[in-house]
Amino acid sequence: MDKKLYEHHMDEQVNLFLLIKSAEEKTTRNGKPYLAFTFQDTSGEMSANYWDASEEDIETFRSGTVVKVNGKREEYKGSPQLRINAIKLAADGEPSNPELYVERAPIKKEKMIEQFNKAIFDITNANMNRIVRHIMNKYQKDFFQSPAAKTNHHAFLGGLAFHTISMLNIARSLVEQYDFLNQSLLFAGLILHDVGKVVELSGPTATEYTLEGKLIGHIVIVNEEISKACQHLKIDETSEDVVMLKHMVLSHHGQLEYGSPVRPQLAEAEALHYIDQIDARMNMLQSALKKTEKGSFTERMWAMENRSFYQTNLTDNN
């Protein structure tokens, strides 16, 4: 069986099919064009530069296409990258379906739907329950396909749903530990907080930001969806439960400089912000440590304040 991208060790020769997740045209200091690639298979992503790219290369090697790459795994400034010796498009009869190279959520869609239905059943506030059901029914197909981000955390097929399921598991523990938290508000805000990403992002293959994603953003998109749901369901948009639900969505990034128009001012909103942070950061760490040998450090992670993390030799029995 062919080795995957991250199953190759440092300085090992690579000769395999990969998906071009992104291909950015750039120029060297000498004014020569090159392509900055991000390649992907189910083991992860890796960057590579294709020097002296011709106009034909720039037209040919676009994001979302599958290519055969011959080269070597190297490292640049502490991060793994590929040195390209040769590259060509996958031919007819070769594994050219982009979906073959996309990482998937570790839980099957049917299992995630089952867990979502249980969480929605536990939202006992009538207005919140109806709003959540309405929005989830509208976006269910895309929601269970979409990644949670272009890069960084849960950036894979089904990542948005898996991220939300993981957050719900944390939220259940918090509600048991801190009984003053309103379960309906926390669960409803949590389920809806990132639904706008089905509009903000193009999908799991060669993910890009859509025009609405760039100019409006998922926080505002969800806030508008709550308003639309209220109009459709004839729910008073100014009622306290709806206003609090909107606040959960609008404040979940925690800080104004991170895109939230307001900071959390409800206990449940504060909890949602930190649950989101915990799950996103643990997923980033899990992905990085999975690619790191024991007794060594991960690559630097800019989303984690440019820190490297140590992959311990410890086991559960130590």
The pTM assigned to this predicted structure is: 0.85
- Summarize the confidence of residues 245-268 as an average pLDDT: 95
Residue % of the chain over a pLDDT of 90: 73
Q: Is 314 a domain residue?
A: no
**Where is the domain boundary, 47, 73, 101?**
101
Residue 197 has pLDDT above 70, yes or no: yes
* Containing structural domain, residue 131: 109-285
**Where is the domain boundary, 72, 101, 130?**
101
- Summarize the confidence of residues 20-24 as an average pLDDT: 92
275 and 155 part of one domain:
yes
Q: DSSP string covering the chain, please? A: -PPPGGGSPTT-EEEEEEEEEEEEEEE-TTS-EEEEEEEEETTEEEEEEE-S--HHHHHHS-TT-EEEEEEEEEEETTEEEEEEEEEEEPPTTS---GGGGS-B-SS-HHHHHHHHHHHHHT---HHHHHHHHHHHHHHHHHHTT--S-SSSTT-SBTHHHHHHHHHHHHHHHHHHH-TTS-HHHHHHHHHHTTTTHHHHB--SSS--B-HHHHHT-HHHHHHHHHHHHHHHHT--TTSHHHHHHHHHHHTTT-SGGGT-SS---SHHHHHHHHHHHHHHHHHHHHHHHHTS-TTSBPPPBGGGTTB--B-----TT-
Total domain count, the chain: 2
9 and 76 part of one domain:
yes
92 and 114 part of one domain:
no
22 and 123 part of one domain:
no
